[in-house]
Structure 1
Amino acid sequence: MYPLSSLEFTTYFQVGLELTEIHLPLPPQAPKPLITMKT
C-alpha cells in the first residue's frame, strides 16, 4: 500500500467522518466537523 498524500488523507478522513455521522449521530453539544464548511 502506498502512502497517501495529505490531500488524499484529508479526503478519506472527511468521508470517514461523514459516514460516521450517518451511523453515529453526534450529540448536540459536540462541535460540528469542519466538513460542514464546504462551499
Structure 2
Amino acid sequence: YMRVSFIDWLRKEIKFESPEALSRQIQLDMIKAKKLIYKKSLL
C-alpha cells in the first residue's frame, strides 16, 4: 500500500521524459530507502 502511494507521489513530484529514467530513479530511491530502514533497524 505504502509503496504504491510512494511511487504515485514520485510520478507527481518528478516529471520524467522517459519511463527508463523514471524506473531508474525509483530503483535508486528504493535502495536509499532500504539503507535507511536497515540503519533504523540497527538502532
Q: TM-score, normalised by structure 2?
A: 0.48
For 1:23, the aligned partner's letter is L
Identity of aligned residues (%): 9
- Deviation, 1:22, is 0.1
Q: 1:9 corresponds to which residue?
A: 22
**Aligned-CA RMSD value:** 1.8
CA distance in 1 between partners of 2:28 and 2:36 (Å): 13
Bigger helix fraction: 2
Task: Number of aligned residue pairs: give it.
Answer: 24
Q: 1:18 corresponds to which residue?
A: 31
- Deviation, 1:17, is 0.1
Gaps of 5+ in 1: 26-39
CA distance in 2 between partners of 1:24 and 1:12 (Å): 18
CA distance in 1 between partners of 2:35 and 2:27 (Å): 13
